[in-house]
């Protein structure tokens, strides 16, 4: 509903200010007006998983526990490189006094307390559960078996065999929506320095933004987590940083350790203009966000707490069910018929005696 016309006559200053503001907006071009635009978040999920099954959550009465999470994921692969078993051992170093109730999302098919745990985990469909009281510091460690079909798509490395070689493929790559534009340097410089400091100190980084001086243009950015791969394939030593695909001339047994490498790519910023700084800030934010996903394979109930994950790939023999013992063919043994005959004779004698006494 429109306001009564007479109200404009009682507020001439307000009308004049509104007209002046509208005129300024019409005169100013997009290139002349700097606009604040948020940068991509360095803690965003760039894909639904990892962490598995929506990660970890915490419920407690007025207590925020600081938690350091470390995870070792063991992947058993067959001779072709296909994973057939995935287990994970998660260790939560929980600080601060008070009750805790943690739910760790995961496609769990079995769980037990791992060595050094000061409590026993519970588990239900889709989660590990911890509940208890922390006197100031408590170690919670669980060894869990995971559903291979649900866990394997979130693993960072794929192993295949081809023509007498072993192929290692980084599977962390994802495409993310971003934008490019001209931008003012000061806010971008400040954000990049804060991001680098947070990564160096193991803290959860904060989001940021910058003033754009041109219309942002959408683009797609390819994001991949560098993987430090060390170990052996057959008799051949492996040590490399993998961002794509590597071919190892061996088809022997695989014994590899895989660790995400957090690299922001921030170097000398003095010669970069605003557009180049924006591109660097975008790539650095995505790199941190994607690496955090693979460092939190099972999540951390403390969103600001540090997490590390290492992945261990080993060739092992698939376990097969033992064949059932073959049934003995009838007539092959004289013991069973003899026992049956004796049983019948006894039964008949008892029945005859009973009849005679009746």
pLDDT tens, position by position, 140-165: 999 999 999 999 999 999 999 999 99
Q: 260, 282, 277, 226: which is closest to 41 by C-alpha?
A: 282
Q: What is the pLDDT of residue 267?
A: 85
Q: What is the pLDDT of residue 3?
A: 40
Q: What is the pLDDT of residue 125?
A: 82
Q: What is the pLDDT of residue 349?
A: 52
Q: What is the pLDDT of residue 13?
A: 41
At 345, is the pLDDT very low, low, confident or very high (cuts 50, 70, 90)? low
Q: Using CA of residue 47, residue 52, residue 53, residue 59, what is the dihedral sign?
A: negative
Q: What is the pLDDT of residue 343?
A: 53
d(CA 310, CA 228): 10
Q: Does residue 242 have a pLDDT over 60? A: yes
Q: Does residue 245 have a pLDDT over 60? A: yes
At 321, is the pLDDT very low, low, confident or very high (cuts 50, 70, 90)? low
In degrees and rounded to multiples of 5, residue 131 shows phi and psi of -145, 140
Q: Does residue 337 have a pLDDT over 90? A: no
Q: What is the pLDDT of residue 336?
A: 47
Q: Looking at per-residue confidence, does 319 or 3 come out higher? A: 319
Give the Cβ contact number of residue 184 at 10 Å: 16
Q: What is the pLDDT of residue 27?
A: 38
Q: What is the pLDDT of residue 341?
A: 52
DSSP states of 147-213: -HHHHGGG-SEEEEEETTEEEEEE---EEEEEEE--B-HHHHHHHHHHHHHHHHHTPPPPP-EEEES
Domain boundaries, the chain: 38-315
Average pLDDT over residues 184-205: 94
Average pLDDT over residues 219-231: 97
Cβ–Cβ under 8 Å, residues 245 and 169: yes
Q: What is the pLDDT of residue 100?
A: 95
Average pLDDT over residues 304-320: 93
d(CA 217, CA 64): 41
Q: Looking at per-residue confidence, does 154 or 34 come out higher? A: 154
pLDDT digits (tens, 9 = 90+) for 82-110: 999 999 999 999 999 999 999 999 999 99
Q: Output the average pLDDT for the chain.
A: 85
Q: Does residue 60 have a pLDDT over 60? A: yes
At 10, is the pLDDT very low, low, confident or very high (cuts 50, 70, 90)? very low
Q: Does residue 204 have a pLDDT over 80? A: yes
Q: What is the pLDDT of residue 323?
A: 56
Q: What is the pLDDT of residue 11?
A: 42
Q: What is the pLDDT of residue 16?
A: 38
């Amino acid at each position: 509903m429109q306001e009564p016309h007479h109200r404009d006559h009682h507020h001439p200053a307000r009308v004049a200010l509104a007209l002046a503001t509208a005129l300024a907006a019409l005169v100013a071009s997009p290139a002349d007006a700097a606009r604040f635009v948020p940068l991509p978040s360095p803690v965003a999920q760039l894909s639904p998983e990892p962490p598995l099954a929506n990660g970890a959550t915490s419920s407690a009465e007025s207590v925020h526990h600081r938690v350091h999470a470390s995870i070792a994921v063991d992947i058993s692969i067959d001779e072709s490189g296909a994973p057939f078993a995935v287990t994970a051992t998660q260790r939560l170093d929980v600080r601060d006094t008070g009750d805790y109730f943690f739910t760790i999302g995961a496609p769990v098919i079995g769980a037990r307390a791992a060595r050094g745990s000061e409590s026993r985990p519970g588990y239900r469909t889709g989660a590990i559960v911890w509940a208890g009281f922390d006197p100031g510091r408590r170690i919670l460690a669980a060894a869990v078996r995971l559903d291979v079909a649900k866990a394997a798509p979130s693993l960072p490395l794929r192993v295949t065999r081809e023509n007498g070689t072993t192929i290692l493929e980084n599977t962390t790559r994802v495409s993310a929506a971003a934008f490019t534009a001209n931008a003012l340097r000061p806010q971008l410089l400040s954000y990049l320095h804060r991001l680098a400091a947070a990564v160096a100190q193991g803290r959860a980084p904060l989001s940021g933004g910058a003033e754009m001086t041109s219309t942002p243009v959408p683009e797609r950015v390819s994001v991949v987590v560098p993987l430090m791969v060390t170990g052996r394939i057959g008799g051949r030593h492996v040590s490399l940083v993998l961002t794509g695909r590597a071919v190892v001339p061996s088809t022997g047994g695989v014994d590899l350790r895989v660790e995400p490498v957090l690299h922001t790519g921030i170097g000398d910023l003095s010669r970069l203009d605003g557009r180049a700084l924006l591109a660097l800030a975008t790539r650095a934010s995505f790199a941190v966000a994607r690496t955090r996903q693979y460092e939190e394979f099972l999540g951390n109930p403390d969103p600001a707490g540090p997490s590390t994950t290492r992945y261990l790939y080993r060739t092992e023999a698939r376990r097969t069910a033992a064949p059932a013992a073959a049934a003995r063919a009838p007539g092959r043994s004289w013991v069973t018929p003899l026992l049956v005959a004796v049983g019948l004779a006894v039964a008949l004698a008892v029945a005859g005696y009973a009849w005679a006494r009746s």
